[in-house]
Amino acid sequence: MVKLSVIVPFYNVRQYAPDTLRSLRANARDGFEFILVDDCSTDSTPDILARAARELPGVVHVRHEKNGGLATARNTGIDAARGEYLTFLDGDDWLAPGHYDRLLAAIEDLGCDFVRTDHVQCTARARSVRRVPHGRRGVVMNPRDAILPADRSTSVDYAYAWAGIYHRRLADRGLLHFTDGLRTAEDRPWIWRLHRGADSFAVVGLLGVFYRRGVASSLTQIGDVRQLDFIRAFDQVIEETAADPDADRLLPKALRTYCAIIAHHLSDEAKFEPAVAKALRSMSAAAIQRMPQDALGDVLDTMDPHRSSRLRRLRRRVITAKAAA
């Protein structure tokens, strides 16, 4: 019987994959399977994974014939998984020895649908602890209660799929799959759906995942059009939250987060290629136009003046353009 399925997508990470795979070996045990999904890498990553498939216990090796992005690669792993529990790791991150033993023990002891954990962020040689923005630890709670308040960072803002473990019943209910084709912000619709749809969760203070930030090949470091998938991702969050029975309570949080992300990208648009920066402005304006306007006005009234004024200017340009047409 497979107890835990670990889903690890890889794409052109030859520099980091050996560290990732060594850390998986330090977590291997009977009943664990490691689903290594090669998302059609074009460097030597496939050779590294082929060697791992021969040497690492419990490996399931899958290769895409076409690059589909992180969300699609994770879905491939979910569909192949046989474990009672599932978790994720990215192909350029790594684990502390024995982390999965401790993580599995935590969710079995708590008996909930999913457990979220803290992690260590690694930027070059610097290390810093990143905590789940939820104060209560080791207590089973209703995931909906961890979405709010709207004006503070909450569990839905900690959108790291690899920072936790999930019972198979969530996959069976359609709550673990990602939106195919999203190349950035793929965790955002996923974490919102998880918190709206699951019955129970808990937070534990395990520090076993080491998240490598600032990798040159990461989409967060590349100013091309794939970054704009955040708009499609948050459009989905807004649409699904608006259809929720608790929409009146939850929608302001979703709108506020969306607006904050738009403002962040607009303030950093110099990193984008000129054509992408132009598309960012026009797509952001269209996104603001699609939002429920009364609720949007309330959200802008409660945001900090700098971000609020930037978004109001964008909103006015939309209204002016519509009037001129």
CATH code: domain of residue 113: 3.90.550.10
**Residue 120 — pLDDT band, cuts 50, 70, 90?**
very high
Residues 48 and 149 occupy one common structural domain: yes
Residues 49 and 164 occupy one common structural domain: yes
Q: Of 158, 192, 217, at which residue does a domain stop?
A: 217
Residues 230 and 183 occupy one common structural domain: no
Q: For residue 323, is pLDDT > 80? A: no
Q: What is the pLDDT of residues 275-309, one digit of tens each?
A: 999 999 999 999 999 999 999 999 999 999 999 99
Residue 314's pLDDT is what?
87
Across the chain, what does the average pLDDT equal?
A: 93
**Mean pLDDT for the stretch of residues 239-263:** 97
**Residue 325 — pLDDT band, cuts 50, 70, 90?**
very low
Strand order in the sheet with 4-10: 59-63, 32-38, 4-10, 85-88, 164-167, 114-117, 201-204
Residues 173 and 229 occupy one common structural domain: no
Residues 239 and 130 occupy one common structural domain: no
Q: Of 187, 217, 247, at which residue does a domain stop?
A: 217
Q: What is the DSSP string of 212-260?
A: EE--TTSGGG--SGGGGHHHHHHHHHHHHHHTSTTHHHHHHHHHHHHHH
Q: For residue 320, is pLDDT > 80? A: no
* 194 to 138, 174, 237: CA distances (angstroms): 19, 9, 11
pTM over 0.85: yes
Residues 294 and 202 occupy one common structural domain: no
Residue 316's pLDDT is what?
83
Residues 301 and 287 occupy one common structural domain: yes
Total tally of structural domains belonging to the chain:
2
Residues 204 and 314 occupy one common structural domain: no
**Mean pLDDT for the stretch of residues 133-156:** 95
Q: For residue 222, is pLDDT > 70? A: no
Residue 324's pLDDT is what?
45
Helix (H) or strand (E) holding 316: helix 305-324
Computed on alpha carbons and rounded to an integer, the radius of gyration of the chain in Å comes to: 20
Helix (H) or strand (E) holding 211: strand 209-213
**Mean pLDDT for the stretch of residues 61-66:** 97
Report the C-alpha gap between 274 and 266 in whole angstroms. Answer: 13
Report the C-alpha gap between 38 and 61 in whole angstroms. Answer: 8
Hey, how many other C-beta atoms are within 10 angstroms of the C-beta on 252?
21
**Residue 315 — pLDDT band, cuts 50, 70, 90?**
confident
Residues 227 and 147 occupy one common structural domain: no
Residue 303's pLDDT is what?
93
Domain containing 320: what range? 223-324
Residues 54 and 86 occupy one common structural domain: yes
Q: Of 160, 184, 217, at which residue does a domain stop?
A: 217
Residues 112 and 233 occupy one common structural domain: no
Residues 165 and 71 occupy one common structural domain: yes
**Mean pLDDT for the stretch of residues 27-38:** 98
